[in-house]
Amino acid sequence: MERELALEIVRVTEMGALASARWIGRGDKNAADDAATTAIRSMFDSVSIDGTVVIGEGEMDDAPMLYIGERVGNGSGPSVDVAVDPLEGTEVVACGLHNAQSVIAIANKGSLLHAPDIYMEKLACGPELAGKLNIEDPVEITLQKASLHTGKAFSELTVMVLDRKRHEKLIASLREAGVRIQLLGHGDVAGAIAAALPDSDVDLYMGSGGAPEGVLAAAALKCLGGEIQGKLLPEGPFEMQRCLRMGIANPTRVLYMEDMVGTGDVIFAATGVTSGEFLSGVRFIGKERAETHSVIMRAQSRTIRYIRSIHYLPGKEIPDGITNRQNVASM
């Protein structure tokens, strides 16, 4: 994959973010998702790839656009796998909350895990702890290893966890151990990435979230030199069969980085829709301009680029009810 492709991909996430941002706080998560999906699918037509969606909006029968198996790109470039979440955080946008973003990862064909839309247990960390942890260890052992390799006491370690009822036991164990906890309201991908960002205070990301989001996070963490391990959590025979149909022969085994994103190059791009852990949201400027904040990363070079763009949007006035204050509440 060429370096120029990274900038083409970020243009796609920008369009997804701009389209969905018009629905911030309007209470219609489906409209927000449809807007992002339509914009991204249209923008992909100009990208020089022969891409196949392996993580998208669903299977062909369930998703009219960006379905698993759909071909994207203009066909003139490299053959790649595409993982796309046009709007990570549909309810976030509908309610005007934080951490919604438009996300895409691409890798050489055959590299990305075809992850079913079920829960995945996750353990993510930065470069300092990569290769030194095991998701099957008890929480206490994981914290001991983290403490040993970072040189931090338990009281100095910070663990990020999605604030969900299913994590009550995990949170209780972490509090009993005496570590710091950052509860994350929304943004499974952003949460996992936080553990590897150079200026982040987060040491570990733990808990369960969507399996497709786990693959997107793995793409970003590979670019950052971090690591994520995962275990799919199929509930019942239907979800078990779904895993098998998608080529996962042993759905309950530990998934490592190479299982999720392969061993070759990976490109990850994200554009903020609402402001979150490491990206600012879309900011509308007057009636015909908008500002976006994106990140683009590449595994081969370990380059991290943050891009602020001003977009001219003639004839696309902000709908009633959308205000700059809503869009950049946490900037």
For position 224, which CATH number holds?
3.40.190.90
Q: Are both 300 and 251 inside the same structural domain?
A: no
The residues that bridge with 108 in the sheet, in sequence order, are 80
Domain boundary among 220, 241, 261: 261
The radius of gyration computed from the CA coordinates of the chain, to the nearest angstrom, equals 19
Residue 287, domain CATH: 3.30.540.10
**For 36-95, what is each residue's pLDDT tens digit?**
999 999 999 999 999 999 999 877 667 778 999 999 999 999 999 999 999 999 999 999
Q: Is residue 126 part of a domain?
A: yes
Number of domains the chain is built from: 2
pTM comes to: 0.92
Q: Are both 157 and 195 inside the same structural domain?
A: yes
> What is the token pair recorded at 282?
């879309």
Dihedral of CA atoms 281, 285, 287, 289 in degrees, nearest 10, equals -80
Mean pLDDT value across the chain: 92
Q: Is residue 300 part of a domain?
A: yes
Q: Is residue 256 part of a domain?
A: yes
What number of other Cβ atoms are within 10 A of residue 29's Cβ?
Answer: 18
Among 109, 61, 62, 64, which residue's Cα sits nearest to residue 83?
A: 109
**Residue 53: strand, helix, or coil:** strand
* Cα distance between residue 191 and residue 205, in whole Å: 7
DSSP per-residue codes, 55-103: ESSS-TTT-SSS-TT-EES-SSS-EEEEEEEEEE-HHHHHHT-S--EEE
Q: Could you tell me the residue range of the domain that residue 86 belongs to?
A: 3-109+266-327
| Average pLDDT, integer, range 256-273 | 97
Q: Are both 131 and 242 inside the same structural domain?
A: yes
Q: Percent of the chain at pLDDT above 90?
A: 85
Domain boundary among 261, 280, 297: 261
Q: Are 295 and 269 in contact (CB under 8 A)?
A: yes
Q: Are both 236 and 323 inside the same structural domain?
A: no
Q: Is residue 132 part of a domain?
A: yes
* Cα distance between residue 300 and residue 314, in whole Å: 38
Q: Is residue 146 part of a domain?
A: yes
Q: Are both 19 and 70 inside the same structural domain?
A: yes
Domain boundary among 261, 280, 302: 261
Q: Is residue 114 part of a domain?
A: no
Q: Are both 14 and 45 inside the same structural domain?
A: yes
Q: Are both 134 and 249 inside the same structural domain?
A: yes
In the predicted structure, residue 272 carries a pLDDT above the cut 60? yes
Q: Are both 24 and 140 inside the same structural domain?
A: no
* Cα distance between residue 275 and residue 139, in whole Å: 31
Q: Are both 127 and 164 inside the same structural domain?
A: yes
Q: Are both 90 and 207 inside the same structural domain?
A: no
